[in-house]
Amino acid sequence: MNIQARTIINGIAASPGLAVGKVCFWSDPENVPRYTIDPEQVPEELARLDEALASARQQLVDLQERVEKEIGHEEAAIFTSHSLLLDDPAFYARVEKFLTQEHINLEAAVEMAIEDIVKVLRKIPDLYLRERADDFRDVGRRVLENLLAYQRQCTLEEGGKIILVAHELMPSDTVQFHRHHVGAFVTERGGVSSHAAILARSLRLPAVVSVPQILSQLQAGVQVLVDGRLGRVIVNPDPTEIEEAERDQTLRAKAAASVHPAVVSRTLDQVEVVLSANLTREDEAEEARMVGARGVGLLRTEFLFMDRGEFLDEEKQYRAYRHVVEIMAPHPVTIRTLDLGEDKQFNFENPVEATTACVLGWRSLRLSLADENVFSAQLRAILRASAHGVVRILLPMVTGIEELRLVRGLLAKAQSELTTRGLAFGADVQLGAMIETPSAAVLPELILQEADFLSVGTNDLVQYIMVADRVSEHMQRYYRSTSPAVISLLAGMARAARTAGKDISICGEIAGDPLYLPLLLGLGFRNLSVAPVLIPDLAAAVAGLKISEAEDLAARCLRLSTADEIEALLRAKPTPAKGI
């Protein structure tokens, strides 16, 4: 691509807003960025190599000590030979050659040197030496990881913004963003309901995901504009576009800081729709209150851990939850217990077998129930926070009524422990279930026998019903929230909750998308929980709808047979609602 020319690259809009800044690659060893450097940068690059090698040496010493203690002397010796490979002059010489002769960046030079040496080793007839190829690849990868970690820190000019461009971003990457001067991010992988996109909305960062081959289309340092509403990236935007993006950045910063009156959102025919907030950090509570959230419908507690990068004991959790509860009072705060696993990894001191972490379904409530100490500490912290306002406990990934019974038992135990310790807790803490697994979705009335309220997690529900990974760019065409199966299940859940006289809300990402709003209202949902940034626009959309028309639309959707037909009906311009 001619990087001087203005070019538009399209992807999927994942978080609204415009941002302009310089491209910085957030990379991993599978997608090493490659670009040319000036010859005078070579000494600087070699200094970085020395630093990365020194870190790798230290990591290997640490690893060796750990293995020696936990496994044995013989196994630990492997890492001594790995350390020797780090000092191999042939490796250093090759990297230096690629830097000085080909003028490519250090990460790419290291990658090429590794491949080169591995190729040579593989050709050697001696079996022992041939097998060293894998060791060398392993060591080389460690050096590369260290370099990429440095690169992630992206240096910035004063006042400038960086646009992070990555193959994929994990939630643990994204949580660090607000600490840097990140203006927006763009990824090759990911969908609108991936956790990285969810976090972008909570951090008010524009984002575009699922952009094919964006890494090879851009170069580090090039100016780009990210349009998170239209889902596009403009390379070398023109001055008027830059001005518009800068205006948008200022407006968004002002909007985040300005005080809105608490809104009660009502439809044209005066039906109240409760809009509450999905939070990933406790400091978002202030913003949620300012935009008029009528409580917190979902506090994703795992992000508090991931954000701090440390395990939070009962006391630390209690302080975080209490902070949110006090800010939101008198509105309720729904605290979801840890929902770790899959793309949300956090290493406890006492991890439940890491090796099983990649197995489908080894996540969430199941992890909590497998580690009673961690889970009970969280239940006690939530209970203690309930002494300061209205608190509800929400369980993720419920698959059956027996899990709710187990948790009720643990809750009773936690209450008696707190009583023994003389600590206060609320008298009436409700226990709710997320409906995000097919087994809960097909029989919501059963779950309602034990749950005080339901919250529908459509992000996961759609991936499990449609068998389409919510994070994979290849699965986005199968990940259809408008599938007749999904819509019919949603209708059943709303009906079951109404019959049971219990509260039901939706906290998945479709709740914040105005496209789905008339359908959800028409199906009977009156509580939606969304990222704070989306609340003002959603309240405005609610005010333009009539329930009778929404019900009519929902009934028509329920008669259609494909996701495309339902989506087309939702996209068809609605006839303007007339006042009553």
Nearer to ligand PEP among residue 508 and residue 522 (C-beta): 508
Nearer to ligand PEP among residue 232 and residue 470 (C-beta): 470
Q: Compute the distance between CA of residue 208 and CA of residue 148 in angstroms, rounded to an integer.
A: 22
Tokens of 45: 């690059």
User: Which stretches of 87-126 are DSSP H helices?
Assistant: 89-102, 106-123
Q: Compute the distance between CA of residue 523 and CA of residue 511 in angstroms, rounded to an integer.
A: 13
Nearer to ligand PEP among residue 425 and residue 525 (C-beta): 525
- Rounded to a whole number of angstroms, the minimum distance from the CB of residue 463 to Mg ion is 9
Nearer to ligand PEP among residue 265 and residue 458 (C-beta): 458
Comparing CA positions, the residue from 420, 374, 364 lying closest to residue 394 is: 364
Site for Mg ion in 418-437 (CB under 5 A): 436
DSSP label of 36: B
DSSP label of 562: S
- Residue that is written with structure tokens 């309602």 in the block: 448
- Rounded to a whole number of angstroms, the minimum distance from the CB of residue 495 to Mg ion is 22
Residue 458, interface with ligand PEP (CB under 6 A)?
A: yes
Q: Degrees (nearest 5) of the Cα angle 374, 379, 382?
A: 125
- Rounded to a whole number of angstroms, the minimum distance from the CB of residue 500 to ligand PEP is 21
Tokens of 388: 């300061």
Contact 487, 493 (CB under 8 A): no
Helix (H) or strand (E) holding 53: helix 42-70
Order of all β-strands in the sheet with 207-209: 7-10, 232-235, 223-227, 18-26, 162-166, 182-187, 207-209, 12-15
Q: Degrees (nearest 5) of the Cα angle 337, 169, 252?
A: 85
Binding-site size, Mg ion (CB under 5 A): 3
Q: Compute the distance between CA of residue 266 and CA of residue 273 in angstroms, rounded to an integer.
A: 6
One residue of 436, 469, 473, 549 binding ligand PEP per CB under 6 A: 436
Nearer to ligand PEP among residue 249 and residue 455 (C-beta): 455
3-state secondary structure of 404: helix
Contact 322, 315 (CB under 8 A): no
Q: Which stretch binds ligand PEP (CB under 6 A): 3-11, 383-391, 446-454, 456-464?
A: 456-464
Partner from Mg ion, ligand PEP, none binding residue 231, C-beta < 5-8 Å depending on class: none
Partner from Mg ion, ligand PEP, none binding residue 473, C-beta < 5-8 Å depending on class: none
The residue annotated as part of the active site, out of 195, 331, 388, 557, is 195
Nearer to Mg ion among residue 228 and residue 457 (C-beta): 457
3-state secondary structure of 19: strand
Nearer to Mg ion among residue 168 and residue 343 (C-beta): 343
Residue 300, interface with ligand PEP (CB under 6 A)?
A: yes
Contact 404, 431 (CB under 8 A): yes
One residue of 171, 183, 237, 457 binding ligand PEP per CB under 6 A: 457
- Rounded to a whole number of angstroms, the minimum distance from the CB of residue 486 to Mg ion is 14
The contact pattern for ligand PEP, residues 188-217, with x = CB under 6 A and - = no contact, is ----------x-------------------
Q: Which stretch binds Mg ion (CB under 5 A): 69-77, 213-221, 342-350, 459-467?
A: 459-467
Q: Which stretch binds ligand PEP (CB under 6 A): 11-19, 44-52, 239-247, 457-465?
A: 457-465
Contact 214, 24 (CB under 8 A): no
Helix (H) or strand (E) holding 369: helix 364-370
Q: At what angle do helices 106-123 and 89-102 cross, to 10 degrees?
A: 130
Query: Is 358 known to be catalytic?
Result: no
Q: Compute the distance between CA of residue 491 and CA of residue 475 in angstroms, rounded to an integer.
A: 25
- Give the residue nearest to ligand PEP (CB): 457
- Rounded to a whole number of angstroms, the minimum distance from the CB of residue 115 to ligand PEP is 38
Contact 63, 72 (CB under 8 A): no
Partner from Mg ion, ligand PEP, none binding residue 300, C-beta < 5-8 Å depending on class: ligand PEP
Residue 459, interface with ligand PEP (CB under 6 A)?
A: yes
Nearer to Mg ion among residue 12 and residue 434 (C-beta): 434
3-state secondary structure of 104: strand
Residue 276, interface with ligand PEP (CB under 6 A)?
A: no
Query: Is 507 known to be catalytic?
Result: yes
Residues whose CB falls within 8 Å of the CB of residue 534, separated by 6 or more in sequence, listed in order: 201, 512
- Give the residue nearest to Mg ion (CB): 460
One residue of 339, 343, 473, 503 binding ligand PEP per CB under 6 A: 339
Nearer to Mg ion among residue 107 and residue 460 (C-beta): 460
Binding-site size, ligand PEP (CB under 6 A): 11
Residue 343, interface with ligand PEP (CB under 6 A)?
A: no
One residue of 508, 512, 522, 524 binding ligand PEP per CB under 6 A: 508
Q: Compute the distance between CA of residue 391 and CA of residue 579 in angstroms, rounded to an integer.
A: 37
- Rounded to a whole number of angstroms, the minimum distance from the CB of residue 101 to ligand PEP is 49
Nearer to ligand PEP among residue 237 and residue 295 (C-beta): 295
Residue 394, interface with ligand PEP (CB under 6 A)?
A: no
Q: Which stretch binds ligand PEP (CB under 6 A): 133-141, 215-223, 316-324, 451-459?
A: 451-459
Residue 460, interface with Mg ion (CB under 5 A)?
A: yes
- Rounded to a whole number of angstroms, the minimum distance from the CB of residue 336 to Mg ion is 9
Tokens of 571: 């996209």
DSSP label of 574: P
Cβ-count burial of 423 within 10 angstroms (0-12 exposed, 13-18 middle, 19+ buried)?
Answer: middle
154: left (phi over 0), alpha (psi -120 to 50) or beta: left
Residues whose CB falls within 8 Å of the CB of residue 427, separated by 6 or more in sequence, listed in order: none
List residues near ligand PEP by CB under 6 A: 198, 298, 300, 339, 436, 457-460, 507-508
Annotated catalytic residues are 195, 507
Residue ranges that bind Mg ion, judged by CB under 5 A = 436, 457, 460
